[in-house]
Amino acid sequence: GVGGGGEAEWTGGDTVLVQLGDILDRGDRELAILALLQHLQAQARAEGGDVLLMNGNHESLNVMGDFRYVTPGGFSESTQVVRQSSGLPDSFGQTWEEQLKSRLALFSPGGPIARQLAQHYTVLQVNDTVFAHGGLLPSHVKFGVGKLNDAVTAWMAGDHRGGGQQEALQQEALMRALGGSDSVMWNRSFGKEHYASRVESYEATRKLSQMLSQLGARRLVVGHTPQSKGLNECFGGQVWRVDVGMSSGVLGAAPQVLEILPGPAGGSASSKISILTEDGVIRAE
């Protein structure tokens, strides 16, 4: 990992924690957050649990070299990491050019941070719950979620092997994963708190049902679109929107977590779903 994990300790036992991306572009300590999650991941795996990390559109933007949302402190943090890892003098990083080069060195495909992000998921399914940063459409599933994950991993890791038809397939997969408003990382079909019309809502429901059926899943969990009224569900609990904008770089909202537990019968149909807050538990389903 980059930096240290601080004094944080994993207390979740065999719990599986899913983080839906957009660690980056949220303030001055983004690499520290990434290091903390990696620190907790190692501890969780040692106890039979896991911390599963996903890439959001802000991770892909940084690997593209699009730093429009990076704070001055974010550039400074990147420069400090490069300076320490390369044994550069303390004077390094005082110019904008040096800070930009530092950021590019870390995040360009094949760079040390990009290689770490390459290990994160684009689409993830845990039991009967599927996770996607922005949204997941039937066309994504038909194309192949494994292909989407593999393409993003190869791109971020700087793996340029192959050519011709293979390269064309890679580019198509990247477009579906992160290339436009319908891509997995940018899609807002299921993230809106209010739909413009009944037709738009119906179309979202139709695509959702088809996608869940294709995967044999019961629900989709998405981030990407900050929810002004906190964590919520729609379409009868088939979609959960969990980006509450808790970063000070977004809404500064209080943290909330979606907890999915097996019901008394142990089957997916009896899953117990709760919203956890700092003040206690809000029973949701």
Any idea which residues carry the catalytic annotation? 58
Judge contact between 74 and 30, C-beta under 8 A.
yes
Whose tokens are 């059926």? That residue is 213
DSSP classification of residue 269: G
DSSP classification of residue 178: I
User: C-alpha angle with apex 221: 219 to 223, nearest 5 degrees?
Assistant: 160
Closest residue by Cα to residue 145 from 157, 160, 133, 159:
133
- Alpha helices (runs of H) in the chain, residue ranges in sequence order: 30-46, 57-64, 72-86, 96-107, 112-117, 138-143, 145-157, 165-174, 198-215
Burial of 89 (0-12, 13-18, 19+ CB in 10 A): exposed
